[in-house]
Structure 1
Amino acid sequence: MDAEGWIKSVIRGLMCVSGIIGNHWLGFSALPKSRAHLKTNDILFVNLASSNLITNYLVDLPDMMDFTYNFLMGQMYCSVFNFCSDLSETSSIFTTLFITVFWHQKLVGSLKRGGAPVQMDNIRLVAALLAGSWIVAIAFSLPHIFLASKNNGNNTYFECLEDYPSLKAKQAYDLMYLVFANIIPIIGIFFASIQITVTLLQNQKRINSNTTAVTTGAKNTKITPAEPSVHSNQSSQEAVSYSNAVVPNPGQARSSSSSGSLLRAAKSVVTVATIFLICWVVHVILRLISTIQESSLIMELASYIGAAYTCIIPYIYLHGVKKFSCTCRG
């Protein structure tokens, strides 16, 4: 292997190891202690981690080890590689869409409807959506098993190709896949993340307004020395009543803490959505270009972009749900 090949393998290896650690961490941290504690968010995170691990173990790892150089592994590798690549990609995209929509509903439900249950709190509904996404992913990935072929440039190296009946058939398949499994979910993620961002900004504006009002009221309040009077006992009782009204009770503290955790998680979802949109918009553009004009360089670049997403986003989600944090004390 030449220097360029070693550099590619090292980069792919680092991305693969990072993705494996992050997605295992995300999946295991989302597992509930018991069935009674099972939540929608846990199911979505486990499904996302599982989808990404398919890429890490069955796409990135074999690609890093160059199984296509081996004749015995090459024939099986081509079918598995092409199938798992699109299967994982499609499932990951749809799961990201569901997570974004779920947290938008939770954020709106918490800030505007007092924490009322939302539609996607229904575990059966989410399970049905995930099952549907896997069916779509399998349907789009199955043709790769039957169309996979190898091109042996010499006796030791084999390149994975796909043997379509015609160029128009390939273009039609690629276009359908990009529209239904990429573009439509990406549009949904974009609008949901925009709505989350708007809701967060409105909430921050409301908090700033309340803080300003409280500060202004405190400055305008004049404290005068108390004079002895027959009503001193009554004044003391009023002061106690006022202090009890100002000091939040444990229920209010828990509510504030819950809202803070929700806002933190929502911000992490927006961050993931932003990274997702950047990665997959570029990925879709490269796939469209490769549909018009085949290029191994473009396809390899698209593969790296997809792998970058799967190895970065687990850590952002973990940070959002307070499972991954770095505290530095100077």
Structure 2
Amino acid sequence: MDLDDIIESAVRALMFVGGMLGNTWLAVRSIPSRLSALRTNELLFLNLAASNLITNYLVDLPDTVVDIAGSWFLGDAYCGVFRFCADLSATGSIFGTLFISVYWYQKLVGALKRGGGPVQLDSLRLVACLLAGSWGVALVFSVPHFFFFKVGPEGEEGEGGGENGSLKLECNDAFPSKEAKRTYEALYLTLANALPVAGIVYASTRIVLTLTQNQMRIQGHTEDKGAADGGGGEGRPAQPAPKPGTQARAAKSVVAVASIFVVCWVTHMVLRISSNIQTSPIVVEVASYVAASYTCIIPYIFLYGVKQLSCSCGGAKP
């Protein structure tokens, strides 16, 4: 292996370890002490952690090992599983992030505008149905990879893959025709990528606007109170403040995750579309790095939000 290959393998290994630790930690922190105590936000975080762990163990780990080996050596059978899991976990993660963004937007609005009233997504049954539907969509778009794949040399002519000059093998999609591949990619990128990303952007924008409006409202009330009674009413607004503050902290972590998500996945989609127009191993490689970066970064941002939520709302919990 030359220096470039060593650096590439080291980066992949670090991304795998970081993602595996972060998502496992997120899953453990989200598991309640009793099943009957499971809350909606915990179910959403468990779902996201599960989809990301599928990526970590069944996609990133084999990809890292193959990168170190310098050639695909896991056989034809696992090639189909590899391609299947890549799109399954990616789609599950996209919809999981969408539901988390919408949920926390509703919670924030409920806390700041309706005094903490119930929200539509604060229902385990409804969220479970939505998650089941999203995994159904992910399954539909992932099944074709079981049938349309191939293990072959890199590029059209193949490249030397070691000191003995053996061919470097790769696991790739192999649709019956270019038209079939473009049709699949158009449907997948529209229904399982563009629409959920648009929902994430909308929910995140509404969260930012709600937080900004609330901050301006608080500043206005503070100025009015100070002018009216010289700050003598400090004790009154102190009681309802903790809950909105908790929701705001969690919502900010959601906005941070959504921002990273949009940057990563929009870049990933552009690279994926460009690779369909003109196949390039470099573009495919960069797209895989961009997609993998999301799963290794966002667990730690969510963990901050979960920790704040647990500390503020847990009360008597250990």
TM-score (norm 1): 0.85
For the pair 1:268 / 2:269, whether they are aligned, the reply is no
Q: How does 1:201-240 map to 2 (within 5 A)?
A: 201-219=212-230
Aligned to 1:185: 196
For the pair 1:118 / 2:119, whether they are aligned, the reply is yes
Report the 3-state secondary structure (helix = DSSP H, G, I; strand = E; otherwise coil) of the residue aligned with 1:149.
strand
Letter in 2 for 1:313: I
For the pair 1:176 / 2:225, whether they are aligned, the reply is no
Count of residues paired in the alignment: 299
Once the two structures are TM-superposed, the CA of residue 218 in structure 1 deviates from its matched residue by 4.5
CA distance in 2, matches of 1:99, 1:182: 16
CA distance in 1, matches of 2:223, 2:204: 28
CA distance in 1, matches of 2:249, 2:81: 38
Aligned to 1:166: 177
Greater CA drift, 66-75 or 310-319: 66-75
Distance change (3 Å), C-alpha of 1:32 and 1:147: same
| 2:289 corresponds to which of 261, 280, 304 | 304
Distance change (3 Å), C-alpha of 1:12 and 1:289: same
Aligned to 2:80: 79
Distance change (3 Å), C-alpha of 1:71 and 1:204: closer
Aligned to 1:233: none
In terms of fraction of residues, the more helix-rich structure is 1
Letter in 1 for 2:241: S
Contact kept in structure 1, 2:268 and 2:287, CA below 8 Å: yes
For the pair 1:199 / 2:210, whether they are aligned, the reply is yes
Once the two structures are TM-superposed, the CA of residue 195 in structure 1 deviates from its matched residue by 0.7
Larger CA Rg, structure 1 vs 2: 1
Once the two structures are TM-superposed, the CA of residue 156 in structure 1 deviates from its matched residue by 5.5
CA distance in 1, matches of 2:86, 2:172: 14
Contact kept in structure 2, 1:31 and 1:42, CA below 8 Å: yes
Aligned to 2:31: 31
TM-score (norm 2): 0.88
Letter in 2 for 1:212: E
Once the two structures are TM-superposed, the CA of residue 155 in structure 1 deviates from its matched residue by 4.6
Aligned to 2:56: 56
Letter in 1 for 2:108: L
Give aligned-pair identity as a percent: 51
Aligned to 2:108: 107
Once the two structures are TM-superposed, the CA of residue 165 in structure 1 deviates from its matched residue by 1.2
Report the 3-state secondary structure (helix = DSSP H, G, I; strand = E; otherwise coil) of the residue aligned with 2:252.
helix
CA distance in 1, matches of 2:198, 2:46: 23
CA distance in 2, matches of 1:72, 1:211: 66
Once the two structures are TM-superposed, the CA of residue 172 in structure 1 deviates from its matched residue by 0.6
CA distance in 1, matches of 2:173, 2:62: 18
Once the two structures are TM-superposed, the CA of residue 69 in structure 1 deviates from its matched residue by 5.5
Distance change (3 Å), C-alpha of 1:71 and 1:110: closer
Once the two structures are TM-superposed, the CA of residue 323 in structure 1 deviates from its matched residue by 5.8
Once the two structures are TM-superposed, the CA of residue 112 in structure 1 deviates from its matched residue by 1.1
CA RMSD of aligned residues (A): 2.2
5+ unaligned residues in a row in structure 2: which ranges?
159-164, 310-318
Letter in 1 for 2:118: P
CA distance in 2, matches of 1:109, 1:304: 38
Contact kept in structure 1, 2:76 and 2:150, CA below 8 Å: yes
| 2:275 corresponds to which of 282, 290, 300 | 290
Aligned to 1:146: 147
- 1:114-152 residue CA offsets vs partner (Å, 9 max, x unmatched): 111111011111000000111111110111111111114
